[in-house]
Amino acid sequence: MARRQSPAPVADTTPFTENIVDIDVISEMEGSFLEYAYSVIYSRALPDARDGLKPVQRRILYMMSDMGLRPDRGHVKSARVVGEVMGKLHPHGDAAIYDAMVRMAQDFSLRLPLIDGHGNFGSLDDGPAAPRYTEARLAPAALTLTNHLDEDVVDFVPNYDNQLTQPDVLPAAFPNLLVNGATGIAVGMATNMAPHNLVEVISAARHLIANPDATLEDLMRFVPGPDLPSGGRIVGLDGIRDAYATGRGSFKTRAKVEVEQLSARRTGLVVTELPYMVGPEKVIEKIKDAVNAKKLTGISDIVDLTDRKHGLRLVIELKNGFNPTAVLQQLYRYTPMEDSFGINNVTLVDGQPQTLGLVDLLSVYVNHRIDVVRRRTIFRLGKKKDRLHLVEGLLIAIVDIDEVIQIIRSSDEAAAARERLMSIYDLTEIQANYILELRLRQLTKYSRIELEKEQDQLRREIAELEAILNSEELLRSLVSDELAAIAEEHGTPRRTILLESEAVSPTVAAELAGSKKGKPAPLALEIADDPCWAILTASGQIGRTSNQEPLAEAGPRNKHDVFTTVVKTSARGEIAAITSQGRMLRLQVMDMPVLPPVAGLPNMAGGVPAKDFLTLLKGETLVAFAPLDEVLAIGTAQGVVKRVQPDYPLNREDWEVIALKDKDFVVGVAPAAADDTELVFLTAQAQLLKFAASAVRPQGRTAGGMAGIKLAAGDRVTFFGAVRAQDEAAVVVTIAGTNGALPGTAPGTAKVTAFSEYPVKGRATAGVRAHRFLKGEDTLLLAWAGHGPAKASSSAGVARSLPQEHGRRDGSGIPLSQAVDVVGAAMAWPEAAAEA
């Protein structure tokens, strides 16, 4: 096939004229840059002071309102909203539109979200899902921003291609700029405004409406500071005052942290609120980096337990021996748990960027809202007057409707009918046209009475609207009432706590006061090895005090609970814990929970159960605490006694201190190193035996002990202890009752006898009678000997009011109802505490 030849191009003979224009590059760059800068400032980055919205946010809300995406209707795909906004109003990238839409749906970004999002709209640590996966509709608060747009309340301007119109500003029924804040970076300037509480801001705006000359101090009584969506604490209010006065300032935000006892041995810092726009993953990452860099010490683990049901919960577990307050100060210093927020109130006023304080921001909004309500009133007044004009014409025609119809039927065209109606009934052209446009079926619903009622109602409404327009006071009052309704419907309590200065405990304040040259001294990171008391109570609660102040008898505690063991030690010391099965456990005092002081006294209600703190075997109980460096005396239920030398293994945490026989168990432990110490046994059948501790030779920890008291058949030891022989205040307390009866259900007797009245007997003897049983009594419900007496009362206190029996030492006691109100468990006031 022959190749087709293309025709040769015809040469252009038109002469070429070169046109070169010389321009000044500097002038061109300046002009172009200023034009670009103004476009960014006005059309993208800065919000309008009236409605608090950037152009893209305003277009999103307006388009969603135009699409009918109200809160009472279903969600639609976010991609559909983005497409509508981009195609009709905002000719920019879809990513920018979706980002603005996402931020308005995030409750951690805005104090009052404007979009109700459905799906993954992101978190502080993760971005949102794509717009094809999420759905949205307007939030109830957004309706108050867009309401009444159809009543000529704001000016409408053309869109980018002059085919549609869009509002220049939204009506904004609440001060959105202050409530939700704003952030943006323009060319040569930036804005960063903090969110506030809706109720507080509206209260200030209403005060300004009523008092146009209000000062900053007056308004700050209503708006004391920002209210961040994430809560937290704001420390130091000087920067806030500066920002409210000048539009620029800064303040520190801190996380909300509580010191909690995570377990019997572990203390932790629990974070429930973080600074504004700080996520938990960021905090965890910074903590790990600081720990690896050796900047943070005392942290053993960090766990994020955040969920939708309970909200944020970040648990920072501390190592034993570290001061939680000092560790928290380190966290504030090296992690985002303390952050700074810089306020820069740059906003557009009449198209010009200005830096405004609180008074100016509220004034601009109030003036805008007054103008909106005035324009709305004018619009409604015009509508009412137009309707009244039509009703009046219809009333004229309805009187003789048959003749009106005849006039219309006999006319050749509409113009002739109009002219005849206007001339015969003295109607205006508008009234005549309205009558001509009526359909026959509409005549059925009209009656003279109904039209006259409507006429009267319209006249009243017109009078009210005219009164509002003629009175500035009524107009401002209407604006104020509408703001109050918004606050009542959408207001929420304050979330952020405002602190004038950092609140510290008296101990911390004392340490800071001792710093040199007035500079705050860092707290001691590790807990000092200060003297303290290790305490065990009758109910099995354990704890330690924060100091070694003398212990008082009265203090907050659980009912019927008293101290059974008090050991003098130090915060970094070690003590022994002896169990009912003859085991001794090495116990680090540092691991024990510190009992919170109440009125200077240790609160035993703040202790932890021994079973949660120690690893006990099945059926095993904790009997007593004891020093590791003293000779101890141990007594068992079968009457065995043993003195143990303090030669315990250094490489073990628990060991056996007495070899027990079958079904035997330890009932008491007491220091027995002093030469004048006497050991005491009390049995269930009211036998008492006391003998010198020197009668029991010290044995190794694996020995089984020796005979202490000779027991009758069926008898057992209920109490074993040690008493100083020269202690004149030592007494023996016994309470008798019925074996097997529930406490308080059977009568009993109680008595207290001086310890010195009982003679010293030899070891391995039966001892002497300590309590004579009356009819119905067959056992001792409680027996105790030592420095006292003391009893646990139903009022959760300790008293020394048990009766003394001055008769024979083996006599009976007085009725229990006269002696004690409620019988507690074991009762004892330790000798060490009493001497202290």
Structure tokens at 250: 């800064």
**DSSP character at residue 648:** -
Structure tokens at 458: 């319209």
Surface-to-core class of residue 119, CB atoms within 10 Å of its CB (0-12 exposed, 13-18 middle, 19+ buried): middle
Closest by CA position to 48, among listed 170, 227, 160: 170
**Of residues 36, 38, 98, 133, which has the active-site annotation?**
133
Terminal Cα distance for the chain, rounded: 124
Q: Cβ(61)–Cβ(146) under 8 Å?
A: yes
* Residues ≥6 apart with Cβ < 8 Å to 498: 224, 225, 233, 234, 237
The rounded distance, in Å, linking the Cα atoms of 606 and 492 is: 35
Phi and psi at residue 790, to the nearest 5° = -145, 150
Q: Cβ(98)–Cβ(90) under 8 Å?
A: no
Query: CA separation (Å) from 208 to 180, 211, 355?
Result: 20, 5, 20
The rounded distance, in Å, linking the Cα atoms of 781 and 739 is: 8
Q: Is 133 annotated in the active site?
A: yes
Would you tell me how many other CB atoms lie within 10 Å of the CB of residue 352? 9
Structure tokens at 671: 């220091």
Q: Cβ(656)–Cβ(702) under 8 Å?
A: yes
Q: Cβ(580)–Cβ(637) under 8 Å?
A: no
Phi and psi at residue 182, to the nearest 5° = -165, 155
Residue bearing tokens 């119809």: 405
E runs forming strands in 464-513 = 497-499
Query: CA separation (Å) from 573 to 93, 314, 444, 531, 614?
Result: 67, 31, 100, 9, 17
Query: How many alpha carbons lie under 13 Å from residue 336 in its C-beta half-sphere?
Result: 18
Query: CA separation (Å) from 144 to 71, 154, 486?
Result: 12, 14, 8
Q: What is the sign of the dihedral through the CA atoms of 798, 799, 800 and 801?
A: negative
Collapsed DSSP state (helix, strand, coil) of residue 420: helix
The rounded distance, in Å, linking the Cα atoms of 704 and 167 is: 95
Catalytic residues: 133
